[in-house]
Amino acid sequence: MEMVLQQRAAVIGGGNAGAGCRPGHMTAPVVAAAAKQEPTEEAGGGAETELRRGPWTVDEDLTLINYIAEHGEGRWNALARAAGLKRTGKSCRLRWLNYLRPDVKRGDFTADEQLLILDLHSRWGNRWSKIAAQLPGRTDNEIKNYWRTRVQKHAKQLNCDVNSKRFKDAMRFLWMPRLAERAAAQHNHSSAAISGDMISGDDLVSSAAAALAMPEMMMTMTENSDDRSPCSVVTTTSSSSSHTSSESTAAAAAAPVTDWDEMQGGADHEYWSTASALQQLTAGDHHHGNQQLFQFQEVEDMPMLQDLSGWVQGFSEAAGVSMPDQTQQQQLWSLDDIWRMQ
DNA sequence: AAGGGGTACAACCGCCATGCT
DNA sequence: CAGCATGGCGGTTGTACCCCT
């Protein structure tokens, strides 16, 4: 643990501290504030004067890291005092959880992660911490920022509310399938760095713009489908249409390690089943994946699924999105599996 | 080259829930 | 039961960097 923290400290020492600071930068006010820092107070003793705010200095980071390495975390107010940090306990806790923790994953979200965020947000709304709990190494703050900077921006560009049905539909049936395609591509070429991991705004804007231009009645086709996992469409699309058997083997090796079944058992059973199916599909187990995907669908919804495949195809063509051929289409929707379930 | 708007992200704020005294 | 401390969460702000004109 301590060794990891030391490594972390080394990274921080390399210069990555402070609000709004990109790696390698430190703001002038931070340096000034650090220079002004006074000797530490006695733990629990002195008046709560001169509490520091704003960007954290490297020294503060190191102090916090070393203190936690030695004493552990928790009791943040007492910790802040004992460590000699002129910060509120809240500030220390936030700094640790969002930035200094050794297991915090940094860098762009992968397509898988983006897909999961979109899916979970469609289910849980702005429950950032709950969503973050399903993305190992990611913080609620990071996910919240992703949502605000990427997703809400595109809703704004499309002149529709991020909570509107139209935007949600565009997201579900256009953006997420594309994400799934990229996720599949990532798994197929797991050893190669994929520079285009992030779905660009243009992807959504161009696709959704086409979608929004479609007749309203087309959009309403998805009505009453709120309980259907978008992943059940998305993952079937990507994995079934693109994997060969050898690719599947490679994909299996690169599949997410999360044991969805083990995590299952919470209130949202359908979600976990979907997630589990996602894992199976990603691992190349199309049959069981598809089976699992659809086992929670209401029987009366099935004809709608058939309609939906044509609907998505129409949308995708209008949006210039590449679609699988006829054979792949059949695999895409795995209708055999759907009817077998009835 | 300059500058202004946009973007990304760390940090803060206010509120609420929980647990302890 | 009331009051307080603490932790957690979602929303918002501040600011350095990027990019386009």
A64 touches strand B (CB under 7 A): no
> How far, in Å, CA of A235 to CA of A290, rounded?
9
A29 touches strand C (CB under 7 A): yes
Cα torsion angle, A132, A136, A141, A146, sign: negative
pTM over 0.95: no
A71 touches strand C (CB under 7 A): no
Nucleotide nearest to A27 (CA to C1'): C16
pLDDT, position A305:
33
CA of residue A117 to C1' of nucleotide C19, angstroms: 28
Answer whether A264's CB lies under 8 Å from A273's CB. Answer: yes
A77 touches strand C (CB under 7 A): yes
Nucleotide nearest to A106 (CA to C1'): B9
> pLDDT tens digits, chain A, 342 residues: what are they?
444 444 454 444 433 334 444 443 333 333 333 333 333 333 333 444 578 888 899 889 999 999 998 888 888 888 888 898 889 888 998 899 888 988 888 888 888 888 888 888 888 888 888 888 888 889 888 898 888 888 887 777 677 777 777 777 777 777 788 788 877 877 776 554 434 444 454 555 555 555 444 433 333 333 333 333 333 333 333 333 333 333 333 333 333 333 333 333 333 333 333 344 444 444 444 445 444 433 333 322 333 333 333 333 333 333 333 433 443 333 333 222 322 222
Strands (E), A41-171: none
Integer-rounded Cα Rg, in Å, for chain A is: 24
Give how far Cα A153 sits from Cα of A158, A161, A339, Å.
9, 10, 40
pLDDT, position A149:
82
Answer whether A283's CB lies under 8 Å from A251's CB. Answer: yes
CA of residue A116 to C1' of nucleotide B21, angstroms: 43
pLDDT, position A203:
54
Strands (E), A36-176: none
DSSP letter, residue A220: G
